[in-house]
Amino acid sequence: MVSQAEIDRLRLEADTIMTRYQRVQQSLEQAHSESGDHWESGDLTVTLDTPRGDPIDITLDLDADPATNAEARYERAKELEAHLERKQRIVDQLAPLPADPVAYLICYHLDAVEGNYPRSMAGHLDAERKHVESLCQEMETAGLLERVESGTVKQRRVKAKQADEVRQHHTYYRLSRDGDHLLRFLDEPDGRVNVLRHLPEGRMLVERLARAGPDCPRTTAEELDMEFERVRHLYRALRQTGVVTESDGSTNKRSDRKVKPEDETHRNHTYYVATDHAEKAVRTTED
């Protein structure tokens, strides 16, 4: 987990390297002239005095000069700070939710069926069972899901079982009150804005649709060099939140790729298009 302390430590190390530039350079030159374990690891640990005079252990890249060692830390601190700021901008309701489209789909699925177990959910969501199990456990810990006694579960509006049959040896989950509140939040304008902050890849897909028109997961995955399953789950999660909707693809006019004959292009593909909600949400995230 990214913390401000980690960011501060990186910047302190970088400042120390630049302040003790000559000492760092001498240590690197000496290490290059001696044998030792540092040749196997490629790292060299030295003890330096910070600008305030406090001792600090710093692990240097043996093949980089002092300036490059410092710059690598400044850049990493900048990346982590941007990540931390993005997380801090996410409204509290989304903070407990894993930044994974399958987590969204699990919540919407459980809202519809009022209780299910990971193996069954994986089948309905076209997701890996272990991945669904892991997400359910994580969301249970976060308070979004709760376990229920299997004998009390009645699966509704789902064709997974006949005659409301429930297998006793499965771990069943349902939305908790917090999980229900989260889905209500996602129906609000602020919720849709924060979905795009919570799922940066989702925002990229929405911007792509708004710019170029309807597209299908297979084509998107190929052109953006992304995993097909990841893209498909992203589109489905975005559809549930109302920022994209399904389209017949008939208005798909993309000048940046060759278009196949209509019957071949649209056969067995689900096309998506950005909604008005999406365009408003994208503009808000840019503020």
Q: Which domain holds residue 253?
A: 189-285
% residues pLDDT > 70 (the chain): 80
Q: With 80 as the cut, is the pLDDT of residue 160 above it?
A: no
pLDDT value at residue 255? 44
Domain end residue (candidates: 183, 212, 244): 183
Q: Residue 89, by phi and psi: left (phi above 0), alpha (psi -120 to 50) or beta?
A: alpha
Q: With 50 as the cut, is the pLDDT of residue 97 above it?
A: yes
Residue of 53, 52, 50, 60 whose CA lies nearest to 26: 60
pLDDT in tens, 33-91: 999 888 989 999 999 999 999 999 999 999 999 999 999 999 999 999 998 887 676 65
Domain end residue (candidates: 130, 154, 183): 183
Give the integer Cα–Cα distance in Å for 199 and 100: 7
Lowest mean pLDDT among 48-57, 127-136, 157-166, 214-223: 157-166
pLDDT (mean) for 234-244 = 94
Examine the domain organization and report whether 163 and 124 are in the same domain: yes
pLDDT (mean) for 182-206 = 89
- Between 149 and 224, whose confidence is greater? 224
pLDDT (mean) for 88-111 = 88
Q: With 60 as the cut, is the pLDDT of residue 251 above it?
A: no
b/e string for 92-106 if b means 16 or more Cβ within 10 A? ebbebbbbbbbbbbb
In the DSSP assignment, the letter for residue 271 is E
Examine the domain organization and report whether 64 and 110 are in the same domain: no
State the amino acid at position 72 in one-letter form: A
The token pair that represents 158 in the structure block = 């789902």
% residues pLDDT > 90 (the chain): 63
Cβ contact 58:9 at 8 Å: no
Cβ contact 232:204 at 8 Å: no
The torsion of the CA quartet 200, 204, 206, 211, rounded to 10 degrees, works out to 160
pLDDT (mean) for 88-99 = 79
Cβ contact 242:281 at 8 Å: no
Examine the domain organization and report whether 82 and 37 are in the same domain: yes
Angle at 176 (CA atoms; ends 174, 179), nearest 5 degrees: 100
pLDDT value at residue 1? 63
pLDDT value at residue 285? 61
The answer to whether residue 105 is domain-embedded is: yes
Q: Residue 163, by phi and psi: left (phi above 0), alpha (psi -120 to 50) or beta?
A: left
User: Please, how many CA atoms are within 13 Å of residue 231, restricted to the half-sphere of its CB?
Assistant: 22
pLDDT (mean) for 177-192 = 90
Examine the domain organization and report whether 215 and 263 are in the same domain: yes
pLDDT value at residue 256? 44
Phi, psi for 9 (deg, rounded to 5) = -65, -45
Confidence of residue 150 (pLDDT cuts 50, 70, 90): low
Examine the domain organization and report whether 238 and 206 are in the same domain: yes
Q: With 60 as the cut, is the pLDDT of residue 258 above it?
A: no
Domain end residue (candidates: 60, 89, 118): 89
Examine the domain organization and report whether 280 and 213 are in the same domain: yes
The token pair that represents 222 in the structure block = 């190929």
pLDDT value at residue 154? 56
Examine the domain organization and report whether 85 and 111 are in the same domain: no
pLDDT value at residue 277? 76
Give the integer Cα–Cα distance in Å for 254 and 239: 22
Count: domains in the chain: 3
Examine the domain organization and report whether 221 and 281 are in the same domain: yes
- Between 213 and 261, whose confidence is greater? 213
The answer to whether residue 213 is domain-embedded is: yes
Q: Give just the sign of the alpha carbon dihedral 43, 44, 47, 51.
A: negative
